[in-house]
């Protein structure tokens, strides 16, 4: 149990375009999902906490107008990277916590974004 | 001060060796603790939760010391397949999760 699906797994886009990444909890409801970014040889850095039915909470230094988060249902959160630039190229991972079990913190498989 | 601090390593150990990683956390109200394994260019995967009484899963033993605010992971009889980055994760009140920087382990034949 506690499966989180994320797609696309890999995307290449041109500078200035927008990219949407989806994160779904397949077998449980997630009122809260988390979005992380990981640069090569670095740990995961929390970008924002996505709350179902309300605005996301962004970490300091993360531009909320650039990284749009929508959590419209209990099983789906989306991250849209707007006006992407090469420096946005990174590994983006979502995760969710399933309450009531020892599942810890389940991650999606990640999205490798390359902006050219 | 960071919520979670972890020695990034790298740790290079021969096959069969025992290796231990520590991770310290700053928030005394932290509730849950986990060790994750991350292979290169992949997402982290849960290795084991860490319980107050300590817990063991095969060659892996996790311990929690609330007084000193650290958790540890011990790997016995290291295998080549244990080579990965090991992340400690701490859950603080408010359902926030914080990651250590990860400790890189390479097991050498």
pLDDT tens digit at each of 116 positions of chain A: 568 899 999 999 999 999 999 999 988 888 888 899 988 777 788 899 888 888 899 988 999 999 999 988 889 999 999 999 999 999 999 988 766 555 566 888 899 999 99
Looking at residue B95, its pLDDT comes to 62
What lies within 8 Å, CB to CB, of A45 at 6+ separation is A36, A37, A38, A39, A59
What lies within 8 Å, CB to CB, of B59 at 6+ separation is B75, B76, B77, B79
Per the CB < 8 A criterion, the answer to whether A104 and A3 are in contact is: no
- Under an 8 A CB cutoff, do B98 and A44 touch? no
- Under an 8 A CB cutoff, do A110 and B87 touch? no
Q: Which of A97-111, B55-69, B87-101 has the highest mean pLDDT?
A: B55-69
> Residue holding tokens 């640069």?
A39
Per DSSP bridges, beta strands B32-38 and B84-92 are antiparallel
Q: Does the pLDDT of residue B94 top 80, yes or no?
A: no
What letter would DSSP give residue A96?
E
What letter would DSSP give residue A108?
P
Q: Nearest C-alpha of chain A: how many angstroms from B75?
A: 20
Looking at residue A7, its pLDDT comes to 95
Average pLDDT over residues B57-68: 95
> How many alpha carbons fall within 13 Å on the CB side of residue B89?
29
Mutate to test the interface with A, among B44, B51, B101 (most CBs of A within 10 A): B44
The Cα A25–Cα A2 span in angstroms is 7
Looking at residue B100, its pLDDT comes to 85
Q: How far is CA A24 from the centre of its chain?
A: 10
Q: Which residue of B has its CA nearest to A41?
A: B40
Average pLDDT over residues B2-19: 91
What lies within 8 Å, CB to CB, of B60 at 6+ separation is B35, B47, B48, B73, B74, B75, B76
Looking at residue B52, its pLDDT comes to 86
């Amino acid at each position: 149990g506690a499966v989180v699906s994320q797609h696309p797994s890999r995307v290449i886009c041109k500078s200035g375009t927008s990219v949407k990444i989806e994160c779904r909890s397949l077998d449980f409801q997630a009122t809260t999902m988390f979005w992380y970014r990981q640069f090569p040889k670095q740990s995961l850095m929390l970008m924002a906490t996505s709350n179902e039915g309300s605005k996301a909470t962004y970490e300091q230094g993360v531009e909320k107008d650039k990284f749009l988060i929508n959590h419209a249902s209990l099983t789906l959160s989306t991250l849209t990277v707007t006006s992407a630039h090469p420096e946005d190229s990174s590994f983006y991972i979502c995760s969710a916590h399933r309450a009531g079990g020892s599942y810890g913190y389940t991650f999606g498989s990640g999205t490798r974004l390359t902006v050219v | 001060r960071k919520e979670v601090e972890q020695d990034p390593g790298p740790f290079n150990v021969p096959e069969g060796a025992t290796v231990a990683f520590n991770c310290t956390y700053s928030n005394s109200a932290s509730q849950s603790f986990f060790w994750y394994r991350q292979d290169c260019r992949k997402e982290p995967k849960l290795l084991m939760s860490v319980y107050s009484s300590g817990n063991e899963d095969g060659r892996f033993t996790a311990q929690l010391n609330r007084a000193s605010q650290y958790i540890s992971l011990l790997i016995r009889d290291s295998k080549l397949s244990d080579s990965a980055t090991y992340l400690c994760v701490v859950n603080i009140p408010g359902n926030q999760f914080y990651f250590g920087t990860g400790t890189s382990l390479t097991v050498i034949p």
